[in-house]
Structure 1
């Protein structure tokens, strides 16, 4: 769950953890219970794990190899209804 910043007119700024689905719902100040407005700030990426940052921030392209790739079908057009002796005659009919 992300941490959101809010500002209460009487108490000042405070932070609240809640799901992203609850961002549209109005929030109350935990001290005075008045309606608070949300403050939009930059995400705090430095709290992420170092392994996640290494994966996301890597400048090298990832190489993905497919394993168990299905065999490509062979070209069967020569076997099905092929008449190689008529190749030269087809152009003469047009």
Structure 2
């Protein structure tokens, strides 16, 4: 459930929770004074996350490097015809 924080010029900040993410949530009415309020953007609060979660997120951002020794051993295929590019001609 996404939450969005808005700043009312008179009442201050308030947070609204939505059941969906569709639509533009750039403005909302203040529940106290019914004044139109603009959305406040902040950096994600990663300082409050568990260290294991943060490290997993960082590892997921880069592709894993694989060595040839890590790959399964497969035999090289020997072509069945002397000219494999002429299959069935």
Category of TM-score, reference length = shorter chain: 0.5 to 0.7
Please report how far the alpha carbon of residue 21 of structure 1 lies from its aligned counterpart in structure 2 after TM superposition: 1.9
User: CA RMSD, aligned part only?
Assistant: 3.4
Aligned pair count reads: 76
Q: How many Å separate the matches in 2 of 1:70 and 1:27?
A: 60
User: Within 2, Cα distance between the matches of 1:39 and 1:50?
Assistant: 27
Give the TM-score normalised by the residue count of structure 1. Answer: 0.52
Structure 2 partner of 1:5? 5
What aligned pairs does 1:3-82 form with structure 2 within 5 A after superposition? 3-18=3-18, 21-22=21-22, 24-25=24-25, 26-57=27-58, 62=64, 71=74, 74-76=77-79, 79-81=80-82
TM-score normalized by the length of structure 2: 0.54
Q: Which runs of 5+ in 2 are unaligned?
A: 84-89
Report the structure, 1 or 2, having the larger helix content. Answer: 1
For structure 1, the residue ranges without an aligned partner over 5 or more in a row are 83-94
